[in-house]
Structure 1
């Protein structure tokens, strides 16, 4: 009778894992197999439950971080995100007070503002892109 219960719990856990893909219930499904084999060999219900809990929690604690690390998708920066840290050339005066300025990077013109509000950057000045806010590059003069 216990073997059937363990198999039913196993199927439920696998179905739940298939529905969520969170790598949580799969460890409990494997724990159910431990309980099933303990029941198969005639172990008491207490031993089955302890085996289920020990296997499940050991796998959850030890293996889940490793599996998550290898299954985590590699995030690729978008074109805009890849600009941070790159050099650009000022094409029109960057003046934060008056709210204008442009730079060219990778052959594309971007609206830009200075990271230092008081600093005005002249055309032909080389700058470094520090961050992106919306569609504006935040730049500072290259050292």
Structure 2
């Protein structure tokens, strides 16, 4: 019986590799790809005289190590912020149509559209109507501005 298992162990790891790759291609969560890498390495390791229980243990430890230590690095590499049309507004100079006070947000017209405007945390308030400001960010549908010095 052990000869039968021994003969088919590399094929078992090939099957595990293929299944993990298929699952990863359907989800693209960068989770099962590490199990696929480990299973691929296990194909070659299974050609040695290592018992199946040790192969399983090595597979689990290697998979978890790859998942824990390399996935965050790869996710950081692939994580890209998708720029929006409103991102073009950052850095643009504007004039306030309505004052910004600690109690109320102001407003400003940008490219023909009136926006709600809030001051950045480091900007001293109040900002009077007509004050020249620079757009430093966008939160939801509110422009975040800082006063020009």
Would you identify which runs of 4 or more consecutive aligned residues in structure 1 move more than 6 Å? none
- Cα RMSD for the two superposed structures: 3.3
Question: 1:57: how far off?
Answer: 1.6
Using structure 2 for the length normalisation, give the TM-score. 0.66
Partner of 1:52: 59
Matches of 1:114 and 1:67, distance apart in 2: 36
Number of residue pairs aligned between Structure 1 and Structure 2: 136
What corresponds to 2:108 in structure 1? Answer: 103
Counterpart of 1:33 in structure 2 is 40
Of stretches 38-47 and 131-140 in structure 1, the one that deviates more from structure 2 is 131-140
Report the equivalent of 1:10. 17
Structure 2's unaligned 5+ residue stretches are 1-7
| Deviations, residues 114-136 of structure 1 (Å, cap 9, x unaligned) | 659x957344x313446556655
Residue segments in structure 1 that go unaligned for 5+ positions in a row: none
CA distance in 2, matches of 1:96, 1:68: 40
Equivalent-residue separation in structure 2 for 1:129 and 1:122 (angstroms): 16
Counterpart contact for 2:17–2:36, Cα < 8 Å:
yes
SS in 1 for 2:46: helix
Residues 95 and 55 of structure 1: CA distance in aligned 2, closer, same or farther (over 3 Å): closer
Cα deviation, residue 15, structure 1: 0.8
C-alpha distance in 2 between matches for 1:67 and 1:113: 37
Distance 1:136 1:110, change over 3 A: farther
